[in-house]
Amino acid sequence: MSEPDETFEPRIVAFFCNWCTYTAADLAGISRMTYAPNVRVVRLMCSGRLDPQFVLAALRDGADGVLIGGCHPGDCHYQLGNYNAQRRVLLLKRMLRAMGIEDERVRLEWISAAEGEKVQRVCNEMTEQVRALGPLHLAAVPRREAS
Amino acid sequence: MQAHDGAPKIGVYICHCGLNIAGKIDVEQVVAFAATLPNVAVARDYRFMCSDPGQDLIRQDIDDGLVNRVVVASCSPLMHEATFRRATAAGGISPFFFQMASIREHVSWVTADQQDATEKAKALVAAAVRRVALHEPLERRQSPVLPDAMVVGAGIAGIHAALTMANAGKHVYLIERESTIGGHMARFDKTFPTLDCAACILTPKMSEVRANPNITLWTYADVVSVEGYTGNFTVRVRRRPRYVDEDLCTGCLACIDACINKKAKVPDEWNEGLSKRKPIYIPFPQATPPVVVVDPETCIWFKTGKCPRPCIDACERDAFDFEQQERIEEVKVGAIVLATGFKEFDATRIPAYGYGRYPNVYTSVEVERLVNATGPTQGEIVLRDGTRPQTVGIIHCVGSRDERYNAYCSRVCCMYSLKLAHLIRERSGAEVYDFYIDMRTAGKGYEEFYDKLMQEGTHFVRGRVAGVTDEATTPEEEGKLIVRAEDTLLGAARRIPVDMVVLAVGLEPQPDAQDVRRLFNIGCGAEGFFTERHPKLAPVSTFTDGIFLAGACQGPKDIPDSVAQAGAAAAEVLAMVDRGMVELEPSTAFIDPAACSGCRTCVGLCPFAAITFDHDRNVAEVNEVVCKGCGICVGACPTGAAQQHLFTDEEIFNEIEGVLAYV
Amino acid sequence: MKPKVAFYWCASCGGCEEAVVDLGEELLTVADAVDIVFWPVAMDFKTSDVEALADGELAAAFVNGAIRTSEEEEMVRLLRRKAQVVVAFGACAWLGGIPGLANLYGRRSILDYVYGEEPSLEEHDGARPQEETDVAEGHVSLPTFDDDVRTLDQVIEVDYFLPGCPPPGELIRTAITALIEGTLPEKGSVLAPDVALCSDCPRLPSKPEKPSVKRFVRPHQVQIDPDLCLLAQGLICLGPATRSGCGAVCIAANMPCTGCMGPVSRVVDHGAKAMSAMASLLEADDEAEADALIGEIADPVGTFYRYSLPASLLHRRREPEAAGRSPS
Name the residue facing B631 among A25, A48, A57 (closest C-beta): A48
From A119's Cα to the closest Cα of chain B, the distance in A is: 11
| Chain B residue whose CA is closest to C281 | B601
- Give the model's confidence band at C322: pLDDT under 50 very low, under 70 low, under 90 confident, else very high: low
B653 touches chain A (CB under 8 A): yes
From B237's Cα to the closest Cα of chain A, the distance in A is: 22
Do the chains contact at B105 and A41, CB–CB below 8 Å? no
Q: Which residue intervals of B456-594 are DSSP H helices?
A: 513-519, 559-579
pLDDT value for C327: 41
CA A34 to chain centroid, in Å, comes to 19
Length of chain A measured in residues: 147
A87 touches chain B (CB under 8 A): no
Paired strand residues for B591: B642
Q: Show me where the domains of chain B are located.
A: 10-139, 142-240+326-341+510-579, 254-314, 344-508, 589-644
pTM of the shown model = 0.82
Q: C4-99+147-181 architecture in CATH?
A: 3-Layer(aba) Sandwich (3.40)
Residue C300 has pLDDT above 70, yes or no: yes
Is CATH 3.90.930.60 the right assignment for the domain spanning B142-240+326-341+510-579? no
* SS3 assignment, position A86: helix
Q: Show me where the domains of chain C are located.
A: 4-99+147-181, 106-145, 197-304
Q: Any idea which fold B589-644 has?
A: Alpha-Beta Plaits (3.30.70)
- Amino acid making up residue B283: P
Residues of B with CB under 8 A from a CB of C: 594-601, 603-605, 613, 618, 632, 635-641, 649, 653
C268 touches chain B (CB under 8 A): yes
Kindly give the pairing relationship between strand B266-267 and strand B276-277: antiparallel
- Chain C positions touching A60 (Cβ under 8 A) are 313-314
Name the residue facing C294 among A51, A59, A91 (closest C-beta): A91
Q: Are A99 and C314 in contact (CB under 8 A)?
A: yes
Q: Are A86 and A107 in contact (CB under 8 A)?
A: no
Residues near B450 by Cβ (< 8 Å), separated by ≥ 6? B418, B439, B441
Chain B touching partners, 3 or more CB pairs below 8 A: A, C
pLDDT value for B1: 39
| Dist. CA B202–CA B213, nearest whole Å | 19
- Chain C positions touching B640 (Cβ under 8 A) are 264, 266-267, 273
From B80's Cα to the closest Cα of chain A, the distance in A is: 13
pLDDT value for C319: 81
Chain C touching partners, 3 or more CB pairs below 8 A: A, B
Which residues of A, range 32-91, sit inside 8 Å of C by Cβ?
51-53, 55-57, 59-60, 73, 80, 83-84, 86-88, 90-91
Q: Are C170 and C163 in contact (CB under 8 A)?
A: no
- Chain C positions touching A139 (Cβ under 8 A) are 148, 315-316, 318
Do the chains contact at A87 and C327, CB–CB below 8 Å? no
Closest to B542 in 3D by CA, of B570, B527, B522, B525: B522
Q: Are A124 and C300 in contact (CB under 8 A)?
A: no
Do the chains contact at A74 and B518, CB–CB below 8 Å? yes
DSSP B64-90: TTS-SEEEEEES-HHHHHHHHHHHHHH
pLDDT value for B335: 98
Question: For residue B111, what are the CA distances in angstroms to A34, B13, B67, B120, B310?
Answer: 5, 21, 31, 9, 78
B112 touches chain A (CB under 8 A): yes
Residue C269 backbone dihedrals phi, psi, to 5 degrees: -135, 110
Choose the mutation target among A38, A41, A119 for the interface with B, i.e. most B CBs under 10 Å.
Answer: A41
**What is the tens place of the pLDDT at every residue in C231-281?**
999 999 999 999 999 999 999 999 999 999 999 999 999 999 999 999 999
- Give the model's confidence band at C122: pLDDT under 50 very low, under 70 low, under 90 confident, else very high: confident
| Dist. CA C297–CA C280, nearest whole Å | 14
Do the chains contact at B638 and C199, CB–CB below 8 Å? no
Name the residue facing C195 among B597, B603, B605 (closest C-beta): B597
The CA angle B127-B130-B135, to the nearest 5 degrees, is 115
Q: How many CB pairs under 8 A join A and C?
A: 120
From C20's Cα to the closest Cα of chain B, the distance in A is: 29
Name the residue facing C300 among A59, A98, A147 (closest C-beta): A98
B107 touches chain A (CB under 8 A): yes
Residue A147 has pLDDT above 70, yes or no: no
Name the residue facing B640 among C198, C199, C266 (closest C-beta): C266
Which residues of A, range 110-129, sit inside 8 Å of B by Cβ?
112-114, 120
Kindly give the pairing relationship between strand B589-591 and strand A12-17: unpaired
| Dist. CA B432–CA B466, nearest whole Å | 18
DSSP B246-282: TTT-----HHHHH-S-SS--EE-TTTTTSSEE-SEE-
pLDDT value for B3: 43
C274 touches chain B (CB under 8 A): yes
| Dist. CA B16–CA B73, nearest whole Å | 9
Low-confidence ranges of chain B (pLDDT < 70): 1-5
Choose the mutation target among B518, B596, B597, B621 for the interface with C, i.e. most C CBs under 10 Å.
Answer: B597
From A118's Cα to the closest Cα of chain B, the distance in A is: 13
B659 touches chain A (CB under 8 A): yes
Residue C121 backbone dihedrals phi, psi, to 5 degrees: -70, 140
Do the chains contact at C266 and B605, CB–CB below 8 Å? no
| Dist. CA B228–CA B236, nearest whole Å | 12
pLDDT value for B555: 97
| Dist. CA B420–CA B485, nearest whole Å | 20
Classify residue C44 by burial, with Cβ atoms within 10 Å: 0-12, 13-18, 19+.
exposed
Classify residue A129 by burial, with Cβ atoms within 10 Å: 0-12, 13-18, 19+.
middle
Q: B10-139 architecture in CATH?
A: 3-Layer(aba) Sandwich (3.40)
Domains B10-139 and B142-240+326-341+510-579 share a fold: no
A84 touches chain B (CB under 8 A): yes
pLDDT value for B523: 82
**What is the tens place of the pLDDT at every residue in C138-162?**
999 999 999 999 999 999 999 999 9
Do the chains contact at B105 and A11, CB–CB below 8 Å? no
CA torsion sign for B350, B356, B357, B359 is positive
| Dist. CA A115–CA B373, nearest whole Å | 47
Q: How many CB pairs under 8 A join B and C?
A: 81
- Chain C positions touching B593 (Cβ under 8 A) are none
- Chain A positions touching B107 (Cβ under 8 A) are 37
Beta carbons within 10 angstroms of residue B213's beta carbon: 7
Do the chains contact at C274 and B597, CB–CB below 8 Å? no
Preceding omega of B289 cis (within 30 degrees of 0):
yes
Do the chains contact at B613 and C209, CB–CB below 8 Å? yes
B175 touches chain A (CB under 8 A): no
From C296's Cα to the closest Cα of chain A, the distance in A is: 10
C320 touches chain A (CB under 8 A): yes
Question: For residue B270, what are the CA distances in angstroms to A92, B184, B217, B380, B502?
Answer: 56, 10, 21, 17, 18
Could you give the domains of chain A?
12-133 (3.40.50)
Closest to A12 in 3D by CA, of A53, A51, A69, A50: A69
Residues near B196 by Cβ (< 8 Å), separated by ≥ 6? B190
Kindly give the pairing relationship between strand B611-614 and strand B619-622: antiparallel
Q: How many CB pairs under 8 A join A and B?
A: 138
Q: Of B191-200, C122-131, C316-325, which has the strongest mean pLDDT? A: B191-200
Assign residue A10 a region (left: φ > 0; alpha: ψ between -120 and 50; beta: otherwise). Answer: beta
- Amino acid making up residue B55: Q
| Dist. CA C250–CA C307, nearest whole Å | 15
- Chain A positions touching C319 (Cβ under 8 A) are 100
CATH class of B344-508: alpha beta
CA torsion sign for B66, B67, B71, B77 is positive
